[in-house]
Every structure is written in structure tokens, then in C-alpha cells.
Structure 1
Amino acid sequence: MEKNVIKFSHCGKAIFCFFVPEQCPECGVSFSGKRLEEAPVSVPNPFSNGHKVLCAFLVAPTEANTLREFNGGSDLHTGITDTNGVVYNYTKNGVCRDHQGWERCISIPLVQPDMYNLINQWDQYLEKFSSAQMWDPLCQSFHEESHNCYSFTLTFINRVLATQSKRALSKDEFTRTFVLPRIKQASKYSLLCQEISKNHFYIVNSLKEDVRGGQSDGD
């Protein structure tokens, strides 16, 4: 089970850890009976269990990434969940329907909770789309650049947008607006966890922005 990251402030420093210590790791002052400069807060975890996020776009490290980390340079894989948490994703072998393996990923919900008509038809749309010849390896081969998992997910998203009379999103637009900000956030969070695991704490000067996505003085 992944540990939660906690942030608190003391002696002009922002201190990140998995638990609040008995004394300040920076100055050694005991916290017993004393107030912290800033109450400990939980840092939002950018990762989700993809099988519990319904009707969503998912991004996860590929199996080739043995550490399964978002480190900015690793290969990533994308998928779409149905209303039961099954992840549809396109590979060299065609469309896979995964019931497990996406327990730690980035998720982007694609449907609002009150969009009942779309939710009711979601699984039918997804299954019909996934059964099309263009995703059958016997009809069209997987291509790393032009016909891949990202092509599969984005094409499906645009098909759904079309049913709602909404304009299609280009690959660059979708990536820039929805995917990259979350990948950067996940990468920072992963690096933060690695530092805490190695040194018990990660200490920086006062932050200009919250770690949720902004730059800090320690970057």
C-alpha cells in the first residue's frame, strides 16, 4: 500500500515526510507540547486505481518500465475504462480488456456524473469501437508512431465528442491540455516519494507554490 506524503513547515523550511517526527529534522527542536508553524497537510496523490475510475482515460507506465514509474523519460501506455473498471487498451496483439494491472496510474475522467445517457451507452460504444477492423492486427498492424495505444484512446474520445456534436481534439491539444500537466505532477510526486524513502525527509526552503503542480524554491 502506497504511503501518504505529509507536508509541514518549521524553521523556515517546508518538510515532506511519510509521518510527522517527534522533533524537527532541520533544527532538532522537539515538537512535544509545541505548535508547528504550519499544520501538517496531506499532499494530494496524483495516482488512481484505474479499475475504480469509470469512463476515464488512463496513463500508466508500460511493462517494459520495470520500476513502473513516471520519471519523464519512461514509455507510457494509455487505455479507456468502461463502467465496470475494465481497461480497454490497444497493443501489438490488438485490443486488450484488462481486469487488473492498472492499479497505479493517472486518470482523466471523460464523463460527468449527470451525463446519464452517455454513461448508459458507454460500454456499447467502447465495445463496438474496439471491435472495428482498424484495431484488428490481421487488418492493420500496430505502429509505434502512427497507430498505437494513444491513437486508439484519442480516436475513441473524439468519436464520443462527435456523438455530442462537439469538435474533435488534436493529439497536440489533448496532450498539452490534459495529459502533460498530470504527467509532470505525477513525476514530481514520484521523485518526492523517492527522496523521502532514501532520506526519511525532503526539506526545501519555503515554497512559492504548492507541490500540487507548481514550482518550488527547491526545484
Structure 2
Amino acid sequence: MALLRVRHCRALLYCRRAPPRCPACGGDLRAAGLAAAPVRLRCPFRHGHGQPHAFLIRPSRGTFLHDYRGHCDLHVGITNSRGLVYNYDQEGVHRAASGWEQCISIPLVQPDMWELLQHWDNLLEEFSLEEAWLPHRYEEQQHNCYTFALAFVNRVRQARGRAALSKGEFTQRFLLPHTSEASRYLALQQQLQHSDVYVVPLAEQQHHSGAGSHSLLE
């Protein structure tokens, strides 16, 4: 069921179904007008196989909404133009047509990058065949799925005359806006497992800038 947000009496009310009265002040929400109309929150998770040319993040086991806890391991991959997910682990490179149905998705290519869109699949396939991604080269901490995905992003960036990104820079600039949004959404989901309405005073509501629409490859 969708998450809803209602603004009333200097508070944000998060719920799955809007209550008739505000739990913060007791006021009648039905008489509060358009200002208190429920707003559906955007779910930050996408069907990864429907997200071409993207950087995907999912839990190593299970799904975000049903299984994920903050300490769980994550797995990442890169999609080709058909939503096939290239990902690397101790068995080498996989080309997955299923299993990535609930992901954080970060677009890598803008629609006006015609030449890159035309060659993307070949670039990704050729990159995945390199010796660096053989099974015996895998190392859980230093040479893993994240290494594979970031190395491909940097390969494409450098071919376009852009500087390579360090792991820290990539995480800070491009991953954190998306993962922070997902963390807030999951926290609300957990709060609403124990109560019908979660009340956040507006003075405590933190305002976060959105994850920019610019491309990682620019």
C-alpha cells in the first residue's frame, strides 16, 4: 500500500490511509481543504530490468521493502539497453534477466547522448570479458561488484574526456542522494508497522535536496 503525507497544524502526518481527524491537534482533516489533501510519496525503488543504461543497487538477499535492514550487504550492477543486468561476484560476471525487480536505479546516460546509446551494449559486453573480471580475481573488500560497476563508469567517462571518479567521490555525489531517499522511505515504512499515523513536527522535518538529473557521464 502506498505511503501518504498530509500537512496539517505545523506537522507532517505520514500514513497509509488518511485519518478523519489530525492526531496532532484533533482537527477535522476532511474540512481542512486542499492544503491538507493527502500526497502520495514517490517510491524510490524501480524494476531494474525496465531501467536501461543504469546503475542499479539491490540487497544481496531479498528485497528492500521486505528484507532489508541497515546492516545488510548490497549488490550493484549495470544495465544494457534491454535491461539485462551485468554484475560481478565470486563466480565472475553475470548477465541477469531476472532478480533485479526492486532496485535503486541511477540513470547513466541522457537521451541526447546518441553515439553512446548506440554503442553502450558493445562497450559493456567487451568490458565484462576482460581478465580483471574473471572469478579468481574477485575479492570481497577490494575487487567486487562495486569495483566492476565503477570501473565501467570511469571507462566511459574517460573515453568522453571526463576525469575518473574515486569511490568516495562517486558515492558522495551520485549514490548518497538516492540511498538517503530510500533510507527515509524505509524508515517511514517501519514506523507505520507499529502505528497508523507517524507525526513529524515541521520544525524537525529536514529538507534534503533531490538527486540531480545530470548524468554521471557528464
Task: Number of aligned residue pairs: give it.
Answer: 208
What is the CA deviation profile of residues 127-170 of structure 1, one whole-angstrom value per residue up to 9, with x for unaligned ones? 11111121122xx3310111100010000001111221111111
The answer for the alignment partner of 1:112 in structure 2 is: 110
In 2 relative to 1, CA 34–186 (structure 1 residues): closer, same or farther, beyond 3 Å? closer
Distance in structure 1 (CA, Å) of the matches to 2:180 and 2:18: 26
The answer for the alignment partner of 1:80 in structure 2 is: 78
Distance in structure 2 (CA, Å) of the matches to 1:166 and 1:13: 45
Indicate whether 1:168 and 2:167 are aligned.
no
In 2 relative to 1, CA 99–190 (structure 1 residues): closer, same or farther, beyond 3 Å? same
In 2 relative to 1, CA 76–54 (structure 1 residues): closer, same or farther, beyond 3 Å? same
Is residue 63–residue 102 contact of structure 2 (8 Å, CA) maintained in 1? no
| TM-superposed deviation, 1:114 | 1.0
The answer for the alignment partner of 1:24 in structure 2 is: 22
| TM-superposed deviation, 1:191 | 1.0
Is residue 29–residue 36 contact of structure 2 (8 Å, CA) maintained in 1? no
Greater helix share, structure number: 2
The answer for the alignment partner of 1:68 in structure 2 is: 67
Is residue 185–residue 212 contact of structure 1 (8 Å, CA) maintained in 2? no
Indicate whether 1:201 and 2:197 are aligned.
yes
Match of 1:112, SS state, is coil
Distance in structure 2 (CA, Å) of the matches to 1:31 and 1:132: 60
Is residue 10–residue 36 contact of structure 1 (8 Å, CA) maintained in 2? no
In 2 relative to 1, CA 196–64 (structure 1 residues): closer, same or farther, beyond 3 Å? closer
1:46-195 to structure 2, matched below 5 A, reads 46-63=44-61, 67-69=66-68, 71-137=69-135, 140-195=136-191
In 2 relative to 1, CA 65–117 (structure 1 residues): closer, same or farther, beyond 3 Å? closer
Distance in structure 2 (CA, Å) of the matches to 1:200 and 1:95: 44
Amino acid at match of 2:101: E
Q: Unpaired runs of 5+ in structure 1?
A: 214-219
Q: TM-score, normalised by structure 1?
A: 0.86
Distance in structure 2 (CA, Å) of the matches to 1:4 and 1:191: 14
Match of 1:181, SS state, is helix
| TM-superposed deviation, 1:24 | 2.4
Percent of paired sites with the same residue: 42
In 2 relative to 1, CA 99–212 (structure 1 residues): closer, same or farther, beyond 3 Å? farther
Q: TM-score, normalised by structure 2?
A: 0.86
Distance in structure 2 (CA, Å) of the matches to 1:212 and 1:105: 21
Match of 2:71, SS state, is coil
| TM-superposed deviation, 1:209 | 3.7
Is residue 44–residue 212 contact of structure 1 (8 Å, CA) maintained in 2? no
Distance in structure 2 (CA, Å) of the matches to 1:40 and 1:212: 22
Distance in structure 1 (CA, Å) of the matches to 2:193 and 2:209: 19
Distance in structure 2 (CA, Å) of the matches to 1:36 and 1:89: 46
The answer for the alignment partner of 1:8 in structure 2 is: 6
RMSD of aligned residue pairs (Cα, Å): 2.2
